[in-house]
Amino acid sequence: MEFRHEIISFPKKLPIKFFLHRIGNVSRHWHQSLELIVVMKGDVDITVNSLSYRLGAGDLILINSNEVHELHSADATMVALQIKLELLKEVVADVKKMYFDCNTVKADQPELFTNIKRIVAQILQYNINGSEFIDLKNAALIYELIYELCTNFSSDEQKTLRQPKEGLDRLQRILEYVNSHYNEPISLQQVAKQQFLSVPYLSKYFKNKLGLSFSDYLKDLRLYYAVNDLLNESLTIDQIAAKNGFPNPRSFVVAFSEKYGELPSIWRKKHAEEMLGSVETTKEKSVNYYQDEPHSYHEEISRFIESNLIEQQVAPPAKILQRTSSAHQITLNKPGKTLKHYFKTFIGVSRVKEVLYADVQEALRTAQREIGFKYIKMHSLLDDDLMVYSEDAEGKALYNFQLIDKAFDFLLSIGLKPLVQFSFMPAKLASDLSKTVFYVNINTSPPKDLNKWNGLVHALTLHLIKRYGIAEVRSWLFCVWNEPSSSNLLFGFKEDETFFTLYQNTYNTVKRIDPSLQFGGPAAFSTYNKSEDWLFSFLNFCKDQQCLPDFITVHYYDIDLKSTNNYIGIDKQLNLSPVTNSFQQFIDRLQLRLRAIKLDNLPVYMTEWNSTVSHKDLMNDTCFKSAYVIKNILENYDRLNSFGYWLLTDLHEENRLPPQQFHGGLGLFTVNNIKKPAYHAFCFLNRLGDELIAKGDGYFITRKEQQIQILLYNYYHYDDIYANGISISISHQERYSHFPGKAKREFILELMPLAGSFEIRHSFVNRSYGSAFDHSLLLGHDSELSLQDIEYLKQISIPRIEKEFAQAANTLTIQATLEPFEIRLIEVSARHTV
C-alpha cells in the first residue's frame, strides 16, 4: 500500500515531476526518467536491480533510467523527483550514456551531497507558496541539480547492471501479459508459449531481469491486488482468493501469512478503519470518518528545509497582498424575489445523548436566540446509553423512554422540533454485536428480529404522541437510519435490500399509527464528482413498494472520492473538492434527476453538509470556513428546503476529543462554546431581509421594509496540493498558507434611486476581528488555555462594528475593502431627523 502525491507538475517545456510519498510497499517497476529519492522520515528498504539498501532519514539515492527498483517500508515519508531525459538532450550530447552513482548509503563523503539536499530543500521552499513566475525558479534549480549530478556523481562503474532498451521491451511485453492475466491459472509454460520462448530460457531470463522467479513474481502480484480487495469488506476470503488467481483459499492464506506475518482475516480486522466509507454503488472503501486531517508533511518538510538550507540562503520574499476591485450598479425600484431562508431549517448535534450535556444545551440556547433554527437532526435515538430497549428473561421487550423525553422536552422548550431518526441498534436487537463504529461503539447492524424492531418503533411513536399531542408530533419529521449508502463497516449493510426492508417496515409502522406523520429519508451520502445512483435506486424501490418518502434527506460533503491511477496501482484517499462550485454542481445534478423521475415536488432536506468529513481539518476553525459557508449558501439560496450544516459543536462522541481547543473540529462552537467564524456567518445570514434585490460574485443584497442588507464575502479556494490531501505548509499556528493569489477585494456598490440621509452599519469578521482561533495565537498553546483565557476568547471573538453616515440625492455609493476570507454585513437605514 502506498500514499503517493504529485505535488508539482512542471510545464511541458520542463518535464519534471515532484512527488511526496508515504510508502508501504511499491512493487518492482522501472521508467526512463531519472528519479531522485530523498527520505525525510523513517526507514526505506530499496532494491535497485539486484542490489538492496536501507535508507534512513536524510539519505538519498538516484535511480537511473531503466533500472528496475522496488521499495518497502512500514512507515516512511519521502520526496521523489523525476527528471525526464528529454530535458538533458539540449545540453548533453548522448543522454543514453549518462549514469549517476548517487547514494548516501554507499558513499564515504557525506559532504558531496550537501548541494543536492540544498537544491531539493529550495524546490520545496519555493513551491510551498509559488508565485506566477515559479517555473523560472524551478527551471534554474533543476538545471543546477543536473549540474551537481554531472559534476560529482557521473560514473561508468555500474552501467552494465542497467537494462538495455531492447531487453526492457521484451520484459515489458512479458510483464504486461502477466499483469493482464494474473487472476487466471497461468503458468510459466503458458507465458513461454505466448512469447515464443523455451521454458528454461524464460525461467532464467525472468530471474536475471527481476531477481526473483516467475512463480514468486506471480504470487507477489496476486497478493498486491488481494490486499486491496481485503479493504472491500463485502468480499469473503474465498472470493478474494478466487478473484486474484489463487488456486484455492488455502494457497492464498499461506502466501499472505508468509509475506505479511499474519492471517488475512486478522490483517483485515486490524485495518478496518481504512475501510470505513461510503461509495454508494460499489460499497467499497472511500470516506474515512476517522481520518484526522489531510496527510500533513509540514513537520518533515520544515525540518528538512531548515536543516539543508545554508544560513546565507534567502527565503522567497513574502508576496505583497494585491487588491482587486469591482463596481456594481444596483437598481432598487424593481420587484425582488421572496426568500424563505432555508439555511436555518436544520441544525445538528451528533447524538441525542449530547442534548443532555449542559455545554451543548448552552450552545443550542445561544443558536436559537441568535439565529433560530426549526429542526434538529441527531443520531442514536435508540442507543443503549439512553436505556431505551431491553428484554426480560423470556425475551419480552421492555421499553424506557425517560431520557428521550428529557432531551425532547429541552429541545421543544427552546423552539426546536426533532427529526426523529430511528437509529441505531440496541444490543438486545442487534444481529451482530461486533458491528460498531466510533469512539462510543455505536452498533450499526440490522435488527435480528424485524417484528421486535417494529414493536419498538410502534411503542416509541405512540409514546411521543401521548406525551406531546398529535398536533405537535405531526409537525415533526420521522426517518430511519443514517447514510445507509455507506460501507457495511460504517452505517450501511452488506446488502442494500436489508436497508430497503428496514425502511419499508419502519415507514409502514409509523404510517399505520397516523398517515399524517411525515416520514422521509434516506440520508444518502453524496460528494463532489460522485453520482447519486444509490439514492435513485432507493427511490425506485419506494415507488415499486408504495412507500415513497414524504420528503428526501441527503448529505453532501465537499470531498473528492476520485481514484487516481499511478504506475504502481490505484491510490484512493479522502481528498477535498478541487473546484469552487462543487456544491452548486451537486444541487444541479440532484434536481435534474429528480425532475426526470417526476419527484421534484418532494421537499429535499440537506440534513448534513460541510467542506470535509474530517474532525481535525485545521481549516475548520479559520475564517476560510466562514467565507465558505457564506459563499455556498448565497450562491444556492433556497434551492433546497434545508442546508443543515454539520454540526453545532465540537463536543461530540464520534472521536476521542483532542486536548487542543482549536483542533479542526466540524462544529460552529468549540468544545467550550467559543464561537468560531462559521458561527458568525450564520448570524449574518440571519439578518438578511425577506426580499432579494440583487446578487453576484461576492455580494448578495436584500430588503426588509425600509432597510437594505448587503452581505459581502472575499472567498479563496485552497490550492490543489491541499485538495489532494496534502498539507505541506500548514501547522497549528499557520493555517492560511494553501491559498495562492489571495488578495484584498474592494466593492463599490451604487444603490439607486436612493435619496436622503442614511446610517450605514458595517459588521465584519476577518482574521483580526471575530476569529477566535486567530485571537488564541496570542495566548500560547491552546491545549493549555485557562478558564480565564477561554472566557476572554468568548468575549473578544465577536464581529467588529463600524458606522458611517451619508447623504444621497439619487445614488448612494457604498465602498468596502475586504481582507482575504472576510465576510461583511452592511445594513443601510434611513435616518429620520427630529
Closest residue by Cα to residue 288 from 677, 3, 607: 3
267 and 260 Cβ atoms separated by less than 8 Å = yes
Please name the residue ranges forming H helices in 644-719: 677-686
255 and 262 Cβ atoms separated by less than 8 Å = no
What SS3 state is found at 730? coil
How far apart, in Å, are the Cα atoms of 368 and each of 165, 361, 605, 678, 823?
71, 10, 19, 16, 22
Say which of 280, 483, 654, 819 is annotated catalytic: 483
46 and 69 Cβ atoms separated by less than 8 Å = yes
Q: How far apart are CA 438 and CA 290, in angstroms?
A: 8
817 and 323 Cβ atoms separated by less than 8 Å = yes
Q: Residue 37: beta bridge partners?
A: 61, 80
Instruction: Estimate the crossing angle of helix 199-210 against helix 214-230, to 10 degrees.
Output: 60
664 and 618 Cβ atoms separated by less than 8 Å = yes
Q: How far apart are CA 437 and CA 425, in angstroms?
A: 12
Q: How far apart are CA 818 and CA 764, in angstroms?
A: 9
* Residues near 158 by beta carbon (within 8 Å), at least 6 away in sequence: 99, 101
How far apart, in Å, are the Cα atoms of 764 and each of 171, 505, 536, 651?
65, 50, 42, 27
* Residues near 414 by beta carbon (within 8 Å), at least 6 away in sequence: 364, 365, 368
Cell of 133: 513566475
How far apart, in Å, are the Cα atoms of 605 and each of 214, 508, 522, 660?
57, 21, 10, 33
* Residues near 495 by beta carbon (within 8 Å), at least 6 away in sequence: none
Q: Residue 479: beta bridge partners?
A: 421
- Give the position of cell 521523489: 80
Cell of 149: 549530478
Closest residue by Cα to residue 443 from 398, 488, 395: 488
Q: How far apart are CA 228 and CA 27, in angstroms?
A: 14
Q: How far apart are CA 660 and CA 201, in angstroms?
A: 63
Closest residue by Cα to residue 346 from 322, 378, 321, 315: 378
175 and 186 Cβ atoms separated by less than 8 Å = no
Please name the residue ranges forming H helices in 546-676: 582-596, 623-635
Q: Residue 800: beta bridge partners?
A: 764
> If residue 2 lies in a helix (H) or strand (E), which one and from where to where?
strand 2-9
Q: Residue 756: beta bridge partners?
A: 808
Active site residue 2: no
The backbone torsions φ and ψ at residue 578, rounded to the nearest 5 degrees and listed phi first, read -85, -5
How far apart, in Å, are the Cα atoms of 24 and each of 79, 224, 779?
14, 11, 40
The residues that are catalytic are 483
